[in-house]
């Protein structure tokens, strides 16, 4: 069993920071020590196999991205990152665990789909991985499958209020699934957009000749998100199920979540970097020499990017400080422009929905520390500790403490990262463009350990495909 000492750094946990050395023995953190500690008179640095010098750097628990879609079949194609390419990019960006969504389409057997996701991920991943289960049509068999999956460590289930005929569950189906969640302790996750409203607006826009990606945004208005978020909260309140609203983008939806939390409900919200930085006007409305006004397809995702004139981003950053929103995940769902996003030339509704960001979440959120929007411990809490607690991994993941997995990132605040596929920039996801081209990051992922194994050294990947293991999760540790 190899031993590693991460010495001279500033350890940052969600509860605070302090100068400390971190000793890792095999796969686990063995001790968090006063800087320069000796052990029974022995110089530790001379006794371990590897010393990582973290002087002047932050030592944080590895990032946990609790919302990814590797090789997801969706929108007539399949997300372009495999478990291999996506988890490698994640590792390079300082993320050491993902929770990916097992997809069930109507009439598909849920447990077969769950096994299919194991088959896709096994032996492929650079870092550890868990699964959420998507439920589309909710049948009696879906409810019994929920119990069986919890025993397998899949303790969270996503339902959709949009995408009729693909994922949509009606309110009665949602009610039944939530009743089951209230009974067995599962976390119920919701894609909260009113699909019926959106489908009419989309048809009307297309009939008017509004076919470019910009209209993906205008036909998914914040009212559709606020209404669905409210309805999901009412169903959670009625049944007693905990509710986690995914990819929140509208400030009005944040307000619904905040109000529910003020009433003491177990209601939680997740946002994503795209909703903190990107907008309807600047991205969905973009045009370029290469793609014309189809350029905006690069940023077609749902919920959509919001107008920069309505205060959503400002409010979202604030909600990260006040804990009205508890977590930042990526909703990593990459598609290339060529042959994938291109399916929607002349009809924005046929553009596969999704943005790829799994590599950049830690860097993008660290910019919130640089600009003074969030504190250093809050950065760790939003990107690692709360995801671990929310989804039943805390103690093993999400914290630098003895007994936890040796999932550690050494982050250099004086380093620099240029994001993009252009010359000299950083991009390792399997996509032919970057949604973050030209973003300049103050800070850099220096070293990454996954269960005690150095997988990124001086920013370069040195890990192994297949090192990543399935995380059998427990029930949420975040409930009030």
CB of 210 to Zn ion, least distance (A): 23
Q: Which of 57, 132, 180, 191 binds ligand URP (CB under 6 A)?
A: 191
Residue 188 is classified by DSSP as E
What is the number of residues in the chain?
A: 480
Q: Which is nearer to ligand URP, 247 or 427 (CB)?
A: 247
Are 12 and 366 in contact, with CB atoms under 8 Å apart?
no
Q: Which is nearer to ligand URP, 57 or 69 (CB)?
A: 69
C-alpha–C-alpha distance, residues 395 and 295, integer Å: 43
Question: Interface with ligand URP includes 354 (CB under 6 A)?
Answer: yes
Within 13 Å of residue 399, how many CA atoms lie on the same side as its CB? 16
Question: Interface with ligand URP includes 81 (CB under 6 A)?
Answer: no
CB of 253 to Zn ion, least distance (A): 11
CB of 393 to Zn ion, least distance (A): 19
Report the candidate in 191, 246, 254, 247 with the shortest Cα–Cα distance to residue 226: 254
Question: Which 248-307 residues touch ligand URP, going by CB under 6 A?
Answer: 301-302
Q: Which is nearer to ligand URP, 257 or 301 (CB)?
A: 301
Report the candidate in 77, 159, 82 with the shortest Cα–Cα distance to residue 351: 77
Question: Interface with ligand URP includes 331 (CB under 6 A)?
Answer: yes
Q: Could you tell which of Zn ion, ligand URP, none binds residue 405, using a CB distance below 5 to 8 A set by kind?
A: none
CB of 258 to Zn ion, least distance (A): 5
| End-to-end C-alpha distance for the chain, whole angstroms | 39
What are the structure tokens assigned to 381, written together?
Answer: 């809490």
CB of 405 to Zn ion, least distance (A): 25
Residues 6+ apart with CB under 8 A from 70: 79, 81, 82, 83, 86, 87, 98, 100, 120, 121, 332
Question: Interface with ligand URP includes 69 (CB under 6 A)?
Answer: yes
Q: Could you tell which of Zn ion, ligand URP, none binds residue 353, using a CB distance below 5 to 8 A set by kind?
A: ligand URP
C-alpha–C-alpha distance, residues 430 and 82, integer Å: 8
Report the candidate in 376, 396, 418 with the shortest Cα–Cα distance to residue 473: 396
Residue whose beta carbon is closest to ligand URP = 353
Q: Could you tell which of ligand URP, Zn ion, none binds residue 354, using a CB distance below 5 to 8 A set by kind?
A: ligand URP
Question: Interface with Zn ion includes 100 (CB under 5 A)?
Answer: no
Q: Could you tell which of Zn ion, ligand URP, none binds residue 195, using a CB distance below 5 to 8 A set by kind?
A: none
Question: Interface with ligand URP includes 396 (CB under 6 A)?
Answer: no
Q: Which long-range contacts (CB under 8 A, 24 or more apart) does 20-26 make?
A: 20/59, 22/59, 22/400, 22/408, 23/48, 24/406, 24/408, 24/449, 24/452, 25/1, 25/452, 26/1, 26/2, 26/406, 26/452
Q: How many residues bind Zn ion (CB under 5 A)?
A: 2
C-alpha–C-alpha distance, residues 175 and 54, integer Å: 50
Per-residue binding letters, 299-338, with Zn ion (x by CB under 5 A): --------------------------------x-------
What are the structure tokens assigned to 362, written together?
Answer: 């830690």
CB of 301 to ligand URP, least distance (A): 4
Q: Which is nearer to ligand URP, 220 or 451 (CB)?
A: 220
The most distant pair of C-alpha atoms in the chain lies apart, rounded to whole Å, by 79
Q: Which is nearer to ligand URP, 69 or 389 (CB)?
A: 69
H or E segment at 154?
none
Q: Could you tell which of ligand URP, Zn ion, none binds residue 360, using a CB distance below 5 to 8 A set by kind?
A: none
Q: Which of 249, 353, 385, 434 binds ligand URP (CB under 6 A)?
A: 353
Q: Which is nearer to ligand URP, 136 or 383 (CB)?
A: 136
Question: Which 152-181 residues touch Zn ion, going by CB under 5 A?
Answer: none
Tell me which residues touch Zn ion (CB under 5 A).
191, 331
Contacts with ligand URP, residue ranges (CB under 6 A): 69, 191, 247, 301-302, 331, 333, 353-354
């Amino acid at each position: 069993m190899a031993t590693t000492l991460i010495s001279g750094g500033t350890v940052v946990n969600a509860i605070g920071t302090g100068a400390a050395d971190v000793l890792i023995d095999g796969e686990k953190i063995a001790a968090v020590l006063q800087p320069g500690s000796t052990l029974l008179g022995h110089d530790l640095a001379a006794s371990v196999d590897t010393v990582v010098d973290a002087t002047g750097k932050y030592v944080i628990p590895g990032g946990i991205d609790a919302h990814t879609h590797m090789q997801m079949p969706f929108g007539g194609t399949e997300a372009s990152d495999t478990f291999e390419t996506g988890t490698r990019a994640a590792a390079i960006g300082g993320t050491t665990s993902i929770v990916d969504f097992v997809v069930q389409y109507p009439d598909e057997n849920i447990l077969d789909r769950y096994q299919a996701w194991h088959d896709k991920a096994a032996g492929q991943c650079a870092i550890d991985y868990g699964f959420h289960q998507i439920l589309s049509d909710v049948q009696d068999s879906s409810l019994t499958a929920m119990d069986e999956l919890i025993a397998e460590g899949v303790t969270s289930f996503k339902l959709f209020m949009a995408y009729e005929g693909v994922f949509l569950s009606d309110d009665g189906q949602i009610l039944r699934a939530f009743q089951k969640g209230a009974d067995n302790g599962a976390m119920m996750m919701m894609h909260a957009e009113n699909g019926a409203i959106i489908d009419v607006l989309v048809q009307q826009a297309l009939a008017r000749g509004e076919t470019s990606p910009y209209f993906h945004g205008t036909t998914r208005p914040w009212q559709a998100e606020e209404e669905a978020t409210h309805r999901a909260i009412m169903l959670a309140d009625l049944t007693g199920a905990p509710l986690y609203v995914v990819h929140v983008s509208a400030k009005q939806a944040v307000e619904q979540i905040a109000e529910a939390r003020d009433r003491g409900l177990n209601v939680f919200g997740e946002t994503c970097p795209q909703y903190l930085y990107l907008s309807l006007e600047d991205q969905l409305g973009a045009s370029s020499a290469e793609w014309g006004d189809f350029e905006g397809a690069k940023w077609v995702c749902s919920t959509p990017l919001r107008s920069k004139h309505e205060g959503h981003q400002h409010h979202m950053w604030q909600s990260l400080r006040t804990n009205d929103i508890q977590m930042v995940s990526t909703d990593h769902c990459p598609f290339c422009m060529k042959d994938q996003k291109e399916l929607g030339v002349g009809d924005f509704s046929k553009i596969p929905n999704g943005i790829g960001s799994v590599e950049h979440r830690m860097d993008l959120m660290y910019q919130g520390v640089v600009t003074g929007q969030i504190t250093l411990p809050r950065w760790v809490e939003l990107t690692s500790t709360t995801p671990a607690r929310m989804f039943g991994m805390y103690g093993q993941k999400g914290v630098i403490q003895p007994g936890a997995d040796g999932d550690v990132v050494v982050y250099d605040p004086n380093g620099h990262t240029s994001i993009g596929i252009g010359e000299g920039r950083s991009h390792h996801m399997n996509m032919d463009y970057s949604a973050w081209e030209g973003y300049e990051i103050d800070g850099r992922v220096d070293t990454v350990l996954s269960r005690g194994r150095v997988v990124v050294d001086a920013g370069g990947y040195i890990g192994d495909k297949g090192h990543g293991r399935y995380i059998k999760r427990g029930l949420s540790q975040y409930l009030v």
